Structure formats: C-alpha cells, structure tokens
Amino acid sequence: MSKAKEQKMNEKYPTLPKTATGITGLDEITGGGIPKGRPTLVCGDAGCGKTLMSLEFIIRGAIDFDEPGVFMAFEEKTEELAMNVASLGFDLDKLQEEKKIKLDHVHIDRSEIEETGEYDLEGLFIRLNYAIDSIGAKRVVLDTLENLFSGLSNEAVLRAELRRLFHWLKDKGVTAIITGERGEGKLTRQGLEEYVSDCVILLDHRVINQISTRRLRIVKYRGSVHGTNEYPFLIDEEGISVLPVTSLKLEKPVSSERIRSGIPALDKMLDGKGFFKGSSILVSGTAGTGKTSIAAYFANQTCSEGNKCIYFAFEESPNQIIRNMHSIGVNLQQYVDKGLLKFFASRPTLYGLEMHLVAMYKTIKKFKPKAVVLDPITNLITVGSVSEVKSMLIRLIDFLQEEQITVMFTALTLNTIISDQTDEGVSSLVDAWLLVRDIEYNGERNRGMYIMKSRGMKHSNQVREFVITDKGLDLVEVYLGPDGVLTGSAREAQILHEQTGEVLRDYASGRKDREISRKRKVLEAKISSLQTEFESIEEELNKVSQEEELVKQVAEKTRAEITQRRGEKG
C-alpha cells in the first residue's frame, strides 16, 4: 500500500482518541489509555482496587498531564479518601487547593429513596456540572454506581437512566471512569452497565493456596484493539502497577557484545570471551555446589565494571550473602554502598508468582540494571506449580531480553539426574546452561562443572573441577590419570606420583650421564697413553732411519772427498 493511500485511509478512518491514565502498565495494555471523552466502567469485587485505580487516574491526570479532575464519591467521605491515598505520597488537600482536583461526596440514603414511577438524575447532573465547570475538569470519576441506583428496582427505568448518565458524560466531553461492584454471574450488580460502557475493565482479587493475587482484564474496548489476557497488578506505596503479558512474537533484539562471568577460567571455556550481553544463564546443581558463589562472582564482575546489578534472593538475606562471600574474597558491600548493587530479598510466600513478577518488573524498570540475578528459582515452586513457574520465567526472560539485560538464574537440583523437572523446565529457555555436580571418588566429594549448552558460541565440552577456596573460585585444568579424569586428592596424589617419577628418572639419567662421563675419561686416558706409546715407537723408528741417513750422508761425503784428492794427485 502506498503512503498516500494509507494516509487517505487514516484521514477517512481516524483512530480513536485516547486519554493516558498514567497508571504504570495500563496504558500499554490499552494501547495508549482509555477512550477520550467516553465513559469507562471499572468493576470488580470488594477490595480489588476499583476506588484506588479511579483515584490514581484523577491524580495522575492532574499531576502528569495537567488535566483537572472531579471525583464524586457516593460511599466514602472526602476526608477518608484523602487519608487513604496519603500513604501513597499523594496530597489531595493540596491538589484541591490548587484547583487541580475536586472531591465531592454525595450522601444517598436508601431509606429516603422511593420509586415513584419516574426517576431522574437531574440533581446529580447539576451538581456534577458545577464541579466540572468550577475547575475546568477533563476527567471525572463516579464511585460507585450501586449506591447511586440502590433504590431503583425497575430495570427499564434503570437502563434508561444509565444511558442518560453515560450520554450526559459524553456530551460534556469528559473522560469518565465509573466504578461498579461485581454481581453473581455478571460483571456488575445490575448487569447493564457493561453494555452501555465504551470500555470495561474487570479487576479480580483471588486467593490460591493462601496466596493472594490481583488481576486485571480488558473485557471490551469499542473502536480499539487491546490486550485480552489477564494481567497481574500490584498495589504498593507507589500506587498501582500493571504488568503486561510479554508479546508472543519472538522479535527481541540481540547483541554480539560479550560480558565476563567474573571467573577467568570459565570465560576461557566460553570461547575466551564470556556470555552474550542480554542473554539468560542457568546455573544448576545440588546443594553446596557453589551456585550462589558463581552468581555473586557474576554480580561482582558487573559492578566492578561500573554497571548496575540487582540480586533477587529467595533464600538468604543480603547481609548473609555479603558475609558468606567475604570468605571467598568477594566484597559486595562496597558496591551496595556505591549504589551499583541492589538486593531484593523476600520469601517466595510473600507474594504469588504474578506479584513477584510485577515486583521484579517495577524494581528493574526503576533501577535500570545491566545484569540481574535470581537465586534460586526453585524456591518459587512453593507458591506455584512447575508449569506456572516456567510461565513466569518465560515472561521475565522475554522482558529482560527486550531491555538487553543479562540474567543469571540459579536452580537447586534435588538429585544427580539431569532433567527438565529439577531445573524447573527453564533449561530449554536459557541461552547458556552451567551444571555443577558432585564427583565422588576415592572416598571424597569434589565439584565438577559442565557447560551443557551455550547458544551462538564455541564452548568447551570438557568437565572441569570447580574449586572454591579463600582466594576465590577457579576451574582446574582437566587432569587425566591411568583411570580417567582425576579430581581432588586423587589428582594431587597422581601429580605427586608423577613428580616423584620424574625426580627418579632425572636422578637415573644423571647417574647414567656421570657413568658415561667416567668411561669417556678412562677411554680418553687410554687413547692418550696409546697415542704417547705410538709417538715413542714412531720416534724410535724415525731415529734408526735418521741414523742410516746420517751414515749414508757421511759415506757419500767421504767418498766425494777421496775422489777429489785422487784427482788432484793425478
């Protein structure tokens, strides 16, 4: 489709204008907020958070979007509302003084209401109209409808008045939230409000296995696409936070940048460079194999490079972890003091799985770390099944990959059999899997590290002995003995045996060299003696030859002289 044609279609079918709620996560689920200038129904059972959500909608609008709002309550008094949200850091009295918010309590006594055949809301419209005009309100909340229509039993009249109320709000051009209580088998008590509302948000507060969880669902949204799943939401000191379910599309960004694990020998096994940035790593093993130590080294390495790290602990307190890591030469306290390392420690039973996910989501968004540690994920099995834990971790991994945050999980393996069950089924989801196992040999227990997988990189297939000392963590080079790979004291004994053998071989070799040297000297002495004897015989033989030569020379000289004399006489 050409851009001109697409632009023409957009002009012909404009998108629905929306009003951002300012509530964390809700605008993402609704694709930008609730319908602007239209009424939205927020319904649910008692205690699910209807009033708080509608109040936060008004407050966020006034503070963040400069949109004044009117909150008309039929149940709680304005003083009670102001006190309820003060713990969240909102000062309603100040906002009222600044004419950013108008709180109005309308008292309705059921005993004073009698159905006379005609029932209208003229008084409410006049009062609401005055409140809106007095501050120029753009947002309106009516809390709750049940109290407003509590004395009305005629369904036809009720439907007509509901339509009239909703049409009046539309004509006024305000973005409204109307709260309603949930009925039996219906979204609301009357079962009518959801039909005349343009957007319906259902809040739910359920308790499963003594763990409470709040969830939100967009039941309908006229004129707009929206998320259709159930989304967990959390109410804490900062208000309401909704966690969107991660997109099912596998279109996450990836990085080729590498980060170090903190253990040089482990980095060497990972193609000499470490893990990929934004990847997920699982460290599993039986109790006492050093999983927490590996996680602490990873956190220490991250912080030592000036990056932030969050450590979610489900088993030990932060002080306990910091103390224990001192014994292997790691000082985590210095990074806590610098604000680079943040601990978030809690028992798994503090929340349900969804609430843990929301709490992690909020903490990560606020702190903006480069790395995250979860130690151990197996403790979460106490508040959910294996499949539920796996589902939660999938969503967490997807969120962290989207943010390019590297995460390391630790998991307790309950036996020595490698299976998806013992590792909470997350082993197939992660990018790298390190398995630390006990190696029992010769009456002692040692640790062995396996790299079960590491996607996208060359990695070692060797089993390394994993050593924890007061100097830190290390992986010992593979040592092969006569009976295979040796660890612990067996390796030390074999090394000592081979060193002793080398000394003995060196000694034997030295003794042989000395014997050869002595024999060489004896032979050299004999050769020297024979050489001397040879020279003596040679000299003796030369002496006889020289004497004969001298006799010959004398004889010739004498003969020559005799011949000369005879010639002279003649």
Q: State the catalytic residues.
A: 75, 315
**Could you tell me if 487 and 446 are in contact, meaning their C-beta atoms sit under 8 angstroms apart?**
yes
**Could you tell me if 340 and 307 are in contact, meaning their C-beta atoms sit under 8 angstroms apart?**
yes
**Could you tell me if 30 and 18 are in contact, meaning their C-beta atoms sit under 8 angstroms apart?**
yes
Nearest to 196 by CA among 152, 164, 224: 164
**Could you tell me if 50 and 65 are in contact, meaning their C-beta atoms sit under 8 angstroms apart?**
no
**Could you tell me if 291 and 284 are in contact, meaning their C-beta atoms sit under 8 angstroms apart?**
yes
SS3 content of the chain, % helix, strand, coil (to 5): 45, 25, 35
Element (H, E) at 397: helix 386-402
**Could you tell me if 231 and 215 are in contact, meaning their C-beta atoms sit under 8 angstroms apart?**
yes
> Distance between CA atoms of 549 and 560, rounded to whole angstroms?
16
Q: Which amino acid is at 424?
A: E
> Distance between CA atoms of 26 and 358, rounded to whole angstroms?
13
> Distance between CA atoms of 141 and 88, rounded to whole angstroms?
19
Strands 432-441 and 280-285: parallel
> Distance between CA atoms of 307 and 24, rounded to whole angstroms?
26
Query: Cβ-count burial of 388 within 10 angstroms (0-12 exposed, 13-18 middle, 19+ buried)?
Result: middle
> Distance between CA atoms of 271 and 294, rounded to whole angstroms?
18
Buried b (16+ CB within 10 A) or exposed e, 113-125: eeeeeebebeebe
Strand partners for 434: 283, 451
- Distances in Å between the Cα of 72 and the Cα atoms of 109, 143, 175, 382 are 16, 6, 14, 43
> What is the token pair recorded at 170?
């539309």
Q: Taking the chain, what is the end-to-end CA distance rounded to the nearest angstrom?
A: 152
Nearest to 104 by CA among 85, 129, 136: 129
Nearest to 100 by CA among 51, 139, 74, 72: 139
